Amino acid sequence: MNHIQADILVIGGGATGLGIAWDAALRGLRVVLVEKHDLATGTTGRFHGLLHSGGRYAVKDPQSAVECIAENRILRRTHSHCIEDTGGFFVVTPEDEGEYPDAFRAACAKAGIPCDEIPVAEALRREPRLNPRISRVFEVPDGGADSFLAAHATAQAATQAGARILVYHEVLRLLVEAGGSGTRVTGARVRDVARGEELEVHAALTVNAAGAWAGRVAATAGLEVNVIPGKGIMLATSQRIVHTVINRCRMPGDGDIIVPAHTVAVVGTTDRHVSDPDELTIEPWEVSLLMAEGAKLVPSLDRARIVRAWAGVRPLYQQRQCDATRDATRAFALLDHASCDDLPGLLTIIGGKWTTFRLMAEKVVDRACEQLGVTKPCRTAETPVPGAEQGRYWLGHRLHEVEEQALQGQLVCECELVTRAMLEHAALANPTHSLDDLRRDLRLGMGPCQGAFCTYRAVGMLHEMAMRASAAPGDGGAWDVATMSSPAQTPRPAAGAAPAAMRQGANPLLRGFLEERWRGLWPILWGAQLRQERLNQVLYQCLMNADHLPDDGQGGAGCSI
């Protein structure tokens, strides 16, 4: 069995786990991070994409509000290319009249959150789809966040600092060993999902950052971590019905926020406890609830085309009797199992929000350094990740590149303006095992047609790449992308270079992506989206016979799509 030695083993490839790996590596520690799927497949990649100003928590949870506004300002510097400066409105609808708006403004002032009341007419001029019956509007520095891009940028920053990141490596069990100083956690046994091989990662300290799955990881060492998964569903409209984050000015509740995100707008969210974080069924009544509540903010929502519904899960921590050893706020909890369970060598971090992931990571690594005798301070608050030099995210950047470089004929996905060069580069730059991995990298298939045309194009291109690689066998090296000056220049692979996704064959790749898209479509099949799905059915079932195509595991060679 292969063995890897590290100072810190991080379990979980969401925002918090990646932040921990980045922070620890910057402090000179040897770091290994393992994730059982792709990066950002859990809660990080399944929320509404809000960069919190803290306004939503100003009244209910002042400490969280203070943390949010501080981290909001930091992330705008360190992850600037992942942040869209949309701004945010808290609006008072006819249902929200009362004492709360004044309490909200006072709480924002106390937390240090910029909050200006603006005329309703001004808000309606900037957002004409807003409910004209709103009576008050408060402006705060909310923003939009691309959590997928941020995850990859943080991972790249961690890797450049020396961390080793292993995706598709599932933890089988924590390693618990008895020694001269007693029993402690010494790492984990993991399985390489793609190759079916097992290896052990030995570390001086292990950090459980598995989010809603943290309880399952802890249980492999006989520990109890009470995580209650809280399901929230969201809906995406076919266009940006607003360009500013719109919140209802009331205590947080169901269907009280609309977030502009790239080419769509996200309506959120609900909050229901579930027993299993992997079973997130979307019920028709939940969709109806979001539509009804969202229409109180934007009345035309009931006429908008909804292109997708999805669910995320919040890792809610149920407190045990170890308060004295918890380093926590009301937003997140850091558990030191040496104190809570008399089992040193393991820390568990639970809860929080995407906006505070860097702060959570700092608290974890501070505690880790105390135990490892490291005195180097945190540097993530002033260290930009790769890509931040591009400046703040601009919605029109892809369209600008396509038009400036005449790439219209190279488009794989017209909805999200994904070019052939972008797809081929991403397929080899990251450990891609499915088209869903490319979706997270590129937004492939996330537009109104939900993969109708880009699915078969993408699979065909990956198949072609595999065929080129098999025709010129080599050592499997990566493409030389250093000479690319623009996305218009499509690099050619080195001998033997082929997308990892093609190991399973083209047909399973195609079916897997269509099935994944379908899971988010069946709850919202009405109107234009129902007609779109009928077209998709004709294309893939009636024309291509996709559900009966033979499987092929030979790199895609010979597959008929």
Classify the phi-psi angles of 410: left when phi > 0, otherwise alpha if psi is within -120 to 50, otherwise beta.
Answer: alpha
Tokens standing for residue 185: 């956690």
Task: Examine residue 165 and state whether it is found in any structural domain, yes or no.
Answer: yes
Read off the pLDDT of residues 140-185 as tens digits, 9 standing for 90 and up: 999 999 999 999 999 999 999 999 999 999 999 999 998 777 899 9
Residues 96 and 13 in one domain: no
Instruction: Name the pTM for this structure.
Output: 0.90
pLDDT at residue 60 is higher than 70:
yes
Task: Examine residue 246 and state whether it is found in any structural domain, yes or no.
Answer: yes
SS3 call for 312: strand
Residues 206 and 135 in one domain: no
Task: Examine residue 557 and state whether it is found in any structural domain, yes or no.
Answer: no
**Which residue type is seen at 440?**
R
First to last CA, the chain: 39
What does the pLDDT read at residue 491?
A: 39
Residues 301 and 432 in one domain: no
**Structural domain of 37:** 2-43+148-226+318-382
Residue length of the chain: 561
Pairwise CA distance, residues 217 & 219, whole Å? 5
Residues 541 and 401 in one domain: yes
CATH of the domain at 184: 3.50.50.60
Residues 477 and 532 in one domain: yes
Residues 420 and 473 in one domain: yes
Contact predicate 229/314, CB 8 Å: yes
Write out the H or E segment, with its range, that includes residue 532: helix 527-537
SS3 call for 329: coil
Contact predicate 172/42, CB 8 Å: no
Read off the pLDDT of residues 377-435 as tens digits, 9 standing for 90 and up: 999 999 999 999 988 888 898 999 999 999 999 999 999 999 999 999 898 887 778 89
Residues 218 and 246 in one domain: no
**Which residues share a beta bridge with 191?**
170, 198
Read off the pLDDT of residues 33-47 as tens digits, 9 standing for 90 and up: 999 999 999 999 999
Backbone angles phi, psi at 76, to 5 degrees: -65, -20
Task: Examine residue 198 and state whether it is found in any structural domain, yes or no.
Answer: yes
Residues 322 and 427 in one domain: no
Write out the H or E segment, with its range, that includes residue 288: helix 284-294
Residues 273 and 216 in one domain: no
Task: Examine residue 528 and state whether it is found in any structural domain, yes or no.
Answer: yes
Long-range contacts of 131-135 (CB under 8 A, 24+ apart): 131/91, 131/93, 131/296, 131/297, 131/298, 131/299, 133/93, 133/94, 134/91, 134/92, 134/93, 134/94, 135/92, 135/93, 135/94, 135/97
Task: Examine residue 64 and state whether it is found in any structural domain, yes or no.
Answer: no
Residues 401 and 498 in one domain: yes
**Which residues share a beta bridge with 317?**
227
Task: Examine residue 361 and state whether it is found in any structural domain, yes or no.
Answer: yes
How many domains is the chain partitioned into structurally? 3
Residues 30 and 120 in one domain: no
Task: Examine residue 407 and state whether it is found in any structural domain, yes or no.
Answer: yes
